[in-house]
Structure 1
Amino acid sequence: MHPNITLLKQRLDALNQLRIDRAMANMGSAFQQVYTLLPIFLHYHHPKMPGYQDGIVPHGICAYIPNEAQALYLTDFCRMNDIPLAPHSTQALPITGVYSMGSTSSVGQSQSSDLDIWICHQSWLNSNELTILQAKCLLLEQWAASLGIEVNFFLIDENRFRQNLSGKLDSEDCGSTLHILLLDEFYRSAVRLAGKPILWNVVPADREMDYEEYVSELFADGSLKRDEWIDLGGLGALSAEEYFGASLWQLYKSIDSPYKAVLKTLLLETYSWEYPQSQLLALEIKRRLHNGELDSFSLDAYYMMLERVTTYLQAIGDDVRLDLVRRCFYLKVCERLSEPVAVIPVQGNWRREILNQLTNDWGWGSECLEILDNRENWKIERVREANNELLDALMQSYRNLIRFARRNNLSVSASPQDIGVLTRKLYAAFEALPGKVTLVNPQISPDLSEKNLTFIQVPIDRANRAGWYLYNQAATVDAIIGHQPLEYNRYLSKLVAWSYFNGLLTPETQLHVKNSQYCHTEKLQAFVADIARHFPLRVPASTPKALYSPCEIRHLALIVNLENDPTESLFQDAQPFDLGKLDVFSFGKQEQCLIGSVDLLYRNSWNEVRTLHFSGSQAVIEALKTILGKMHQDAEQPESVEVFCYSQHLRGLIQTRLQQLVSECISLRLSSNRQEPNRFKALRLSGQTWGLFFERLSVSVQKLENAVEFYGAISNNKLNGIPIQLKTGEEHLPEIIDGSASEGIIQFFFEDTEKGFNIYILDELNRVEVYLNCQGCIEELVCDVSRFYASSHERFTYGSGSVNFNLPQFSQIVQENGESRIVPFNSNSISPLSAPTVPVTKKDIILSHTF
């Protein structure tokens, strides 16, 4: 027998009990209840116990022996329910062991810490059994949550690491990004709650490279019995390629827990700095255990991380990140050293004692401690400063790891799909883009709300940049003068969105607006109320599926006339008007668009929040093109599309018309009908006609100056050449057309010539357009125009401020016996000069005679 096996077993049992005691020390009764009873609910499956579900559910832990508290619970449970618990069969049980890992039992554990529980299971469990066991774990998580304790269960196949298997990437599981490094964290922090002890602990650190051979020797000579231990494998197979995927995973975690992620990311950087002589922390802890070093510091996994990172940062002379990592460590421990403790438990607060010793060694004074202990009251200035520090440190670590990978010509060990998910999550969280609302408070402070927010607009031609400035003071000269603004942006919507999504702007915040011609305080308050109703601050995290897929708009708002309201100057003479005939996009004799500004505010499937601003007479068409361009053809419909209008007049009508237009355009863009590759929407805007063309890969916009452009634009075969348009007053129509002129419809007359064909157009008011010597295919033009009008929900009439619901009429001027005659257009009437002859269809005849 190995001479140290018996002693090592005793030390392992003592260390495990020490960690259990430390995990329970100074924690509330709810945590102690969950931590104590979880093994019972995984070993037994009873209707009166949490986690119960009908059917055959895998349960039972190998070598489970209840401790004193668990035995007492089981005795009371059986007595209260007047039934004994059924014993387990003598066959191998499905759960090999239950272990807590991470910060639990370390100095890094706090009252707010969650519980990460590994349930190691037999490899013979099939996928259906694992699904049922996962469902039981979900019920146990819900039970713990009802007590105020967050628990995360991880089902770990006992052969996962030995066979290099990986889990499914999500917010908790690292997927393929970590392998040996994940096992390193488990080995250095695991606490056995029930089941088999971990075999790795008894293998000397200097035998790690021949781990399998040493383990075989232990079993062969009878030092250990194989079925009494769980063997997850050794740590000798760590490859340098794993560092990059691991660093991405830690950056991913830093989005929600930056203080914890800084320390772990720097540990990875330390490992890469030591490469190829990297000494994993788990091996160092095991070496100390084998040497009998059992003091408070030596075997604390969290303290050892700090110790190793400190040595590295001091070696490279990085005092800035060393100071930051110490503050991160202090804040993670959550012991307020600046505040006296009223009652010290009998066993003492060992975390507080360790932290006191550390801060004394660092030379921290009371002022530093008070600032850190007051973190829950930090406001935007200090939070933004802290966030920038954290982000700079994380990015520096990432850059160092990139250089390490290039220096060693490393590839990435993680799967391409997992890397894709992680990088897109990081892009969404950290990439600064125009219009993007940057979130500056990743769990740094619980409350950034401000009592007062003042928005000041600076017009053009002033000393300061034109645009909007945000202050967190009341709107008085004394409060503003001498203070730096919190934020600046050219447009108000971006500042409001930034304030709202970062938590500065709440229902209790007093809002003030200064120096704005169009936006007053009441309008701003209405805008804020609309955002709050339709954009929740907290939404579920983006799923890996969403991150791996193209970005899609989820919640969309169009904000109309917030900064530029053309309706303020309308109706000063109180002239009557007909709402039914009013066109908000081309209003009155001047054909003025009543939408002067459009701001877009949207949240996408990667949980980015973006804002964009458009102003002027073309704001509507520019906003539509932008929205539709961000929607790929196979995207899901947005969950919500809202129009917020802040016009002084006609607010409801403008909102309704724009809502209808946006909804129709989105439906056209996302239509699944692939039989209409050239879908089209025409819009009369400020007296000009615009066409939106819904193409396979994009949406394009074209200004249509005249009728030929308008109808040619929606034809598969555009008219070729540049048509000649006669100037006003010079229009000449063949006399034969005079007898066909009729108001209320658009009429096209085609006349063949030796050089091509002429087009004469009469609009619904009998206004004339003449195009001479045109080239192209008339038949396809007529068919496409007719098809467009026949299928359009809102049949657009070119060149008019009103909407006409008649289809265009097409006619041909033909010569018979030296005289001109007008006949309905059909393919047989087209000369060989202008188009090929094809049989006329019944639809063509019907359309050509429709009024």
Structure 2
Amino acid sequence: MYLYIETLKQRLDAINQLRVDRALDVMGPAFRQAYSLLPILLHHHHPQLPGYLDGNVPCGISFFEPDETQKSWLTRLGWHLPLVDEPVEMPITGVYSMGSTSSVGQNSTSDLDIWVCHQSWLDNEERLCLQKKCHLLQKWCLSLGVEVSFFLIDENRFRHNESGSLGGEDCGSTQHILLLEEFYRSAVRIAGKRILWNMVPCKKEEHYDDYVMSLYARGVLTPNEWLDLGGLGTLSAEEYFGASLWQLYKSIDSPYKAVLKTLLLEAYSWEYPNSHMLATDIKQRLHDGEIVSFGLDPYCMMLERVTRYLMSIDDHARLDLVRRCFYLKVCERLSIKEEKTGWRREVLSQLVKEWRWDAARIAVLDSRSEWKIGRVREAHNELLDAMMQSYRNLIRFARRNNLSVSASPQDIGVLTRKLYAAFEALPGKVTLLNPQISPDLSETNLTFIYVPDGRANRPGWYLYNQAPDMQSIISHQPLEYNRYLNKLVAWAWFNGLLTEKTQLHIKGNGVCDLAKLQEMVADVSRHFPLRLPAPTPRALYSPCEIRHLAIIVNFEHDPTAAFRNQVVHFDFRKLDVLSFGQQQQCLIGSIDLLYRNSWNEVRTLHFNGEHSMIEALKTILGKMHQDASPPDAVEVFCYSQHLRGLIRTRVQQLVSECIELRLSSSRQEPGRFKAVRMAGQTWGLFFERMSVSVQKLENAVEFYGAISNNKLHGLSIKVESNQTPPVPTVVNSYASEGIIQFFFEETSGDRGFNIYILDETNRVEVYHHCEGSKEELVRDVSRFYSSSHDRFTFGSSFINFNLPQFYQIIQTDGRSQVIPFRSQTLTQLCAVDLATSNQGESTHAPRYRVH
């Protein structure tokens, strides 16, 4: 046994050294510096070193001694390490890189994922200090041009089923065993203890702890010399859904890597319940002394596993896509001859030969940085289609096994909102093509052509990426079509086709000329940045709010254009552009809205006619719940030929007043209203707790009657009796159109709990003194909405990401507060039933009761 263990240790050390050498070989000087010095900076804590902060900061890595490379970096930088009395037991067990680092998937632009594993006896203050130190080291690495993500891992995290905080690179509660499995197959020990899991034979995995204790008892292994995060055990089917959802989330930013990982999960589910995880396969080969697949490279072995799976189900389309994704992830352009041939290039050359790719296909993939909109959109749709296909297969697996989700409702809510914002196709929404596919989609020429009613083509605007040579345009398909010009301009701008160097052309048929188009483009580009930080989990879990709003006046229809060469009579003392002159004409003929919300969605809307202003106001205000923050900016762009400044000022004033009335927290009375005179008619905007309504007021009696009616009645509530208490104010303040929201409120004594439901139009239902399990109610509600409300559309696929949101009302210092509903069992949200078809399901008797 002793000789067997020693042999395994030698193999393990050899594989680890091979991975370290490969990682450093791909890295540039800055990466090598950061990779080499991070262990030293975590082992020592001194004011002269990066990452220093005051406080009880744990430092010291078990069994760490600087090697010659690290000493040379210290000499080069002039750093002198402090002499300290090192503790008997170091607080940091080890430092490990994981993921693509050291694999064929690592390239010159790859970032670093670093696990800092620490002793479980660190208290909260010490963990917080270590987290702050890692954050400072992250900033130091970034100053070198190196992107590093640190993850603090308690040795007992996976034994106790603990999870991190969802956001950025942390998968939160969506993965547990699968996260540990990825670590075991890809970890590179930079400093600290060896990983114990590698020493346990695969056939002993089921009795992992007993086997480890037997090794300790026989003296074959010494306990404090090994990092023990626990065995993989049996992968629960419940984890597949959360993990696949996380990979779909990651695909928004890293599509090529996410396709590979999602298909690996699908392959696991295909083998269920006898899933043989990749890490176990790598360990078995290590124990057998079978160092295959380019030195047990985890990326190559992942490709092998996915290839076997796709061939077994005869899915050659996705197999071809996976191979292209792998090629692009490796990022070695084989069509370009290089003097130095590294191991990664040799691996890729051998694979391409096996795949029988010709030079033309390789050249197209190698030119990805030069791809333009046509090829990018094709790739975007192909990637999305593959992800959705994999996702649907996983959902069917979950349905067959009647699974709930092990992730928390809050994490599921964040992920579904992120996916909804990125993928759901809605009228007026600007589809953002993946920026990771090609870095530059800019076009030299863009031509906008208007087709009026009565022609062979449908009326509206067509966009072409060439100069307006009608012969060439006729033979080409347009890049995009929309009924309104504002949407096409927004699509071209936010997808990067339209830049300051782009030459614009327009055939507007009198609707819009080049000067107006150029002015509008300049306004949009000046006030809407292309890239913003990703929305926070908090923003994604909350109702979306308008962050930046542009109100575009008279862009396509301008009533003041008729004033040319006319004598217009009006009274300067009663100058109102909404009811102008003797004819009381409204000088606003069209309103286009362009806005970006807190989920980073970009939306456009169009209104025309003399009532366009009132319709636009109602729409804007309906998208603002009462407790929303005011927009960061509200811009009014006006393109009228005459009275432009006057119209712009009036619209800006009116919109500002209405937003103030909608969001004002100091005046909660239900009868707030604003009267607006437009085109000779009076309209009433009524600001209620849940919504904003509009009513035309013909005379004084009707005017005051409408006000009184709104004051008396407010909103309709489904109640059991006249004695039922009203809806809590804190629920009203969360009202937001387009979202279904459930609020749970505990009642005093043993009278169950109350449920307040806001539907997508902010209608309220109230159920008092409910009995039973909130968790089961959440699961059943989610199952119902996911199977009957299909909103996501992609080709013939239907997936609903905009599931109902669940909250809990709590009392804090005598005040009501809304927090996300959290499960007590971590297994309640049945988001597994995100529907992929309209197939009916059998209904079950509810396990909760309403009195």
User: TM-score scaled to structure 2, two decimals?
Assistant: 0.82
- Cα distance in 2 between the residues matched to 1:209 and 1:580: 88
Higher mean displacement: 348-357 or 673-682: 673-682
Query: Within the alignment, does 1:308 sit opposite 2:305 as a pair?
Result: yes
Distance 1:75 1:31, change over 3 A: closer
What does residue 55 of structure 1 align with?
55
- Cα distance in 1 between the residues matched to 2:568 and 2:470: 43
What does residue 356 of structure 2 align with?
363
Q: Which runs of 5+ in 2 are unaligned?
A: 714-851
What does residue 4 of structure 2 align with?
4
Partner residue of 2:318 out of 307, 317, 321: 321
- SS in structure 1 at match of 2:227: coil
- SS in structure 2 at match of 1:238: coil
> What is the one-letter code of the residue matched to 1:191?
V
Partner residue of 1:98 out of 86, 90, 95: 95
Partner residue of 1:112 out of 109, 114, 139: 109
What does residue 556 of structure 2 align with?
563
CA displacement at 1:53 relative to structure 2: 2.3
The answer on whether the counterparts of 1:561 and 1:595 sit within 8 Å (CA) in structure 2 is yes
- Cα distance in 1 between the residues matched to 2:174 and 2:598: 23
- SS in structure 1 at match of 2:606: strand
CA displacement at 1:572 relative to structure 2: 2.7
- SS in structure 1 at match of 2:39: helix
- SS in structure 2 at match of 1:696: coil
> What is the one-letter code of the residue matched to 2:325?
C
The answer on whether the counterparts of 2:571 and 2:581 sit within 8 Å (CA) in structure 1 is no
Distance 1:554 1:718, change over 3 A: closer
The answer on whether the counterparts of 2:670 and 2:711 sit within 8 Å (CA) in structure 1 is no
- SS in structure 2 at match of 1:297: helix
- Cα distance in 1 between the residues matched to 2:410 and 2:55: 35
- SS in structure 2 at match of 1:253: helix
Distance 1:706 1:146, change over 3 A: same
Query: Within the alignment, does 1:402 sit opposite 2:364 as a pair?
Result: no
What does residue 650 of structure 1 align with?
643
- Cα distance in 2 between the residues matched to 1:559 and 1:621: 14
The answer on whether the counterparts of 1:288 and 1:298 sit within 8 Å (CA) in structure 2 is no
What does residue 64 of structure 1 align with?
64
The answer on whether the counterparts of 1:474 and 1:512 sit within 8 Å (CA) in structure 2 is yes
Partner residue of 1:669 out of 662, 672, 675: 662
What does residue 611 of structure 2 align with?
618
CA displacement at 1:52 relative to structure 2: 2.0
> What is the one-letter code of the residue matched to 2:103?
S
Distance 1:76 1:339, change over 3 A: closer
CA displacement at 1:517 relative to structure 2: 1.4
Partner residue of 1:196 out of 193, 197, 207: 193
Query: Within the alignment, does 1:31 sit opposite 2:31 as a pair?
Result: yes
What does residue 510 of structure 1 align with?
503
Higher mean displacement: 549-558 or 118-127: 118-127
Bigger Rg over Cα: 1
CA displacement at 1:577 relative to structure 2: 5.2
The answer on whether the counterparts of 2:293 and 2:301 sit within 8 Å (CA) in structure 1 is no
- SS in structure 2 at match of 1:703: strand
CA displacement at 1:75 relative to structure 2: 5.2
Query: Within the alignment, does 1:454 sit opposite 2:447 as a pair?
Result: yes
Tell me the alpha carbon deviations over residues 455-484 of structure 1, each in whole angstroms, 9 at most, x when there is no partner: 000001111100000000101213312111
Correspondences of 1:110-259 after superposition (within 5 Å): 110-259=107-256
Tell me the alpha carbon deviations over residues 10-64 of structure 1, each in whole angstroms, 9 at most, x when there is no partner: 1111110000001011331111111111111111122232222233322211111
- Cα distance in 1 between the residues matched to 2:712 and 2:144: 73
> What is the one-letter code of the residue matched to 1:377?
E
Tell me the alpha carbon deviations over residues 233-263 of structure 1, each in whole angstroms, 9 at most, x when there is no partner: 1011320100000000000000000000000
Tell me the alpha carbon deviations over residues 61-86 of structure 1, each in whole angstroms, 9 at most, x when there is no partner: 11112111113334566xx46x6512
Tell me the alpha carbon deviations over residues 269-321 of structure 1, each in whole angstroms, 9 at most, x when there is no partner: 00000101100000000000001122452510000110000000000000000
The answer on whether the counterparts of 2:569 and 2:581 sit within 8 Å (CA) in structure 1 is no
What does residue 292 of structure 1 align with?
289
- Cα distance in 2 between the residues matched to 1:337 and 1:578: 75
The answer on whether the counterparts of 1:118 and 1:156 sit within 8 Å (CA) in structure 2 is yes
> What is the one-letter code of the residue matched to 2:334?
L
Partner residue of 2:334 out of 332, 337, 341: 337
Correspondences of 1:256-295 after superposition (within 5 Å): 256-295=253-292
Distance 1:121 1:717, change over 3 A: closer
The answer on whether the counterparts of 1:554 and 1:638 sit within 8 Å (CA) in structure 2 is yes
Partner residue of 1:582 out of 575, 589, 593: 575
Query: Within the alignment, does 1:464 sit opposite 2:457 as a pair?
Result: yes
**Percent of aligned pairs sharing the same letter:** 71
- Cα distance in 2 between the residues matched to 1:334 and 1:311: 23
> What is the one-letter code of the residue matched to 2:182?
E
The answer on whether the counterparts of 2:95 and 2:117 sit within 8 Å (CA) in structure 1 is yes
- SS in structure 1 at match of 2:625: coil
Q: Which runs of 5+ in 1 are unaligned?
A: 721-851
- Cα distance in 2 between the residues matched to 1:291 and 1:123: 33
CA displacement at 1:137 relative to structure 2: 1.4
What does residue 391 of structure 1 align with?
384
Distance 1:376 1:76, change over 3 A: closer
Tell me the alpha carbon deviations over residues 198-217 of structure 1, each in whole angstroms, 9 at most, x when there is no partner: 10010001111100110110
What does residue 473 of structure 1 align with?
466
CA displacement at 1:707 relative to structure 2: 1.4
The answer on whether the counterparts of 1:298 and 1:304 sit within 8 Å (CA) in structure 2 is no
Structure 1 vs Structure 2 CA RMSD = 1.6
Distance 1:143 1:578, change over 3 A: farther
The answer on whether the counterparts of 2:26 and 2:106 sit within 8 Å (CA) in structure 1 is no
Correspondences of 1:424-823 after superposition (within 5 Å): 424-570=417-563, 572-574=565-567, 579=572, 581-716=574-709
- Cα distance in 2 between the residues matched to 1:442 and 1:213: 50
The answer on whether the counterparts of 2:98 and 2:115 sit within 8 Å (CA) in structure 1 is yes
The answer on whether the counterparts of 1:435 and 1:611 sit within 8 Å (CA) in structure 2 is yes
Higher mean displacement: 299-308 or 1-10: 1-10
Correspondences of 1:374-389 after superposition (within 5 Å): 374-389=367-382
CA displacement at 1:575 relative to structure 2: 5.1
- Cα distance in 1 between the residues matched to 2:711 and 2:99: 67
- Cα distance in 2 between the residues matched to 1:236 and 1:543: 34
- Cα distance in 1 between the residues matched to 2:574 and 2:58: 70
The answer on whether the counterparts of 2:670 and 2:710 sit within 8 Å (CA) in structure 1 is no
CA displacement at 1:91 relative to structure 2: 3.4
The answer on whether the counterparts of 1:258 and 1:442 sit within 8 Å (CA) in structure 2 is no
> What is the one-letter code of the residue matched to 1:72?
S
- SS in structure 1 at match of 2:540: helix
Query: Within the alignment, does 1:372 sit opposite 2:369 as a pair?
Result: no
What does residue 417 of structure 1 align with?
410
- Cα distance in 1 between the residues matched to 2:38 and 2:81: 19
- Cα distance in 1 between the residues matched to 2:122 and 2:633: 43
The answer on whether the counterparts of 1:690 and 1:704 sit within 8 Å (CA) in structure 2 is yes
The answer on whether the counterparts of 1:60 and 1:88 sit within 8 Å (CA) in structure 2 is no
CA displacement at 1:516 relative to structure 2: 3.0
Tell me the alpha carbon deviations over residues 322-371 of structure 1, each in whole angstroms, 9 at most, x when there is no partner: 00000000000000001100x31xxx500000000000000000000000
> What is the one-letter code of the residue matched to 1:652?
G
CA displacement at 1:582 relative to structure 2: 1.1
- Cα distance in 2 between the residues matched to 1:717 and 1:479: 60
What does residue 22 of structure 2 align with?
22
